[in-house]
């Protein structure tokens, strides 16, 4: 038996951008459709009102995620992306706000209680402050962790590492000691010809150098020019033979 649901299998964004832009009015900073998804940027201090309008008036009932992005070159380096889902329309939109390190973002735990954990994650990874969150503490890193790992200026190796000490019977922090140097991956395919010597190739015997290219064939020497022979002098005319005397004629 097939299940019939009012939500379409594939929802269209046709007309959604114009309708939501008009509804948000002065709260809206910019709007666009990118990669088949409607993206709305609103004023930071109006994020709670904007999301309440989208939830109550336009049936975007569910907050799926709050994702942070770091752009260090910007004055307001952080982006908070609120991913909303309409269960009745089977449609998704993204609402963005910008923030700096010292500009808090209003909490939306008044709209979705689950936002408490999502805001804690963005705070832990990026350091974004959410004003009004009553339990804004780290959720992924350890107690006493310094820094925010998803910031672009955070070192890949971190600052300290932790381990369990059998002597102290507790977890201790120590300076980072890497068992090997930090490797950089360029994702080049060795089968397509890497631009460097692959590990282990230095042990292989060196291949003989390729033979030098054959010299181009020499151009044929020009044929020697023969000197013209001098014209021969005309032969001297032969003297006519003396007439023979008849037999019996006396001398």
pLDDT at 52: 98
Give the model's pLDDT for residue 36. 87
Higher-pLDDT residue of 188, 14: 14
Res 2: pLDDT: 65
Q: pTM for the whole thing?
A: 0.69
Distance CA 239, CA 251 (A): 24
Query: Which CATH architecture does the domain made up of 16-135 adopt?
Result: 2-Layer Sandwich (3.30)
Under the banding of pLDDT at 50, 70 and 90, the label for residue 37 is very high
For residue 1, is pLDDT > 60?
no
Structure confidence by residue, pLDDT tens digits, 241-251: 666 766 665 55
Q: Could you give the CA distance from residue 213 to residue 227 in angstroms, rounded to a whole number?
A: 41
Whole-number average pLDDT of the chain = 87
Supply 72's token pair.
């260090």
Q: From 151, 165, 64, 139, select the one nearest 101 (Cα to Cα).
A: 151
Phi, psi for 68 (deg, rounded to 5): -100, 150
Q: What is the pLDDT of residue 200?
A: 73
Q: What tens digit of pLDDT does each residue of 181-220 get?
A: 767 777 777 677 667 776 777 777 777 888 888 888 887 8
Q: Give the CA angle between residues 67, 73, 75 to the nearest 5°.
A: 80
Would you say 132 and 106 are in contact if contact means Cβ atoms under 8 Å apart?
A: yes
Q: Which of 8-12, 35-39, 86-90, 132-136 is predicted with the least confidence, judged by mean pLDDT?
A: 8-12
Sequence spans of domains, the chain: 16-135
């Amino acid at each position: 038996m097939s299940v019939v649901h009012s939500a379409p299998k594939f929802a269209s964004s046709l007309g959604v951008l114009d309708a939501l832009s008009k509804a948000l009015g002065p709260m809206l900073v910019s709007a666009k459709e990118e990669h088949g998804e409607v993206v709305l940027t609103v004023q930071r201090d109006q994020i709670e009102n904007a999301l309440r309008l989208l939830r109550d008036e336009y049936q975007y009932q569910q907050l799926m995620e709050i994702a942070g992005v770091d752009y260090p070159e910007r004055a307001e380096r952080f982006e908070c992306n609120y991913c909303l889902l309409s269960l009745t329309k089977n449609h998704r939109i993204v609402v963005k706000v910008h923030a700096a390190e010292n500009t808090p973002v209003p909490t939306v735990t008044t709209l979705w209680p689950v936002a408490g954990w999502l805001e804690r994650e963005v705070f832990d990874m990026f350091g974004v402050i959410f004003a009004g969150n009553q339990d804004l503490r780290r959720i992924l890193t350890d107690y006493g962790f310094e820094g925010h790992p998803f910031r672009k200026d955070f070192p890949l190796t971190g600052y300290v590492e932790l381990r369990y000490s059998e002597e102290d019977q507790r977890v201790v922090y120590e300076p980072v000691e890497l068992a090997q140097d930090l490797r950089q991956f360029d994702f080049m395919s060795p089968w397509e010809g890497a631009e460097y010597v692959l590990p282990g190739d230095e042990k292989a015997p060196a291949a003989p150098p390729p033979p030098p290219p054959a010299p181009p064939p020499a151009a044929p020497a020009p044929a020697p020019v023969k000197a013209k022979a001098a014209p021969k002098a005309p032969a001297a005319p032969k003297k006519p033979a003396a007439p023979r005397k008849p037999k019996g004629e006396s001398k």
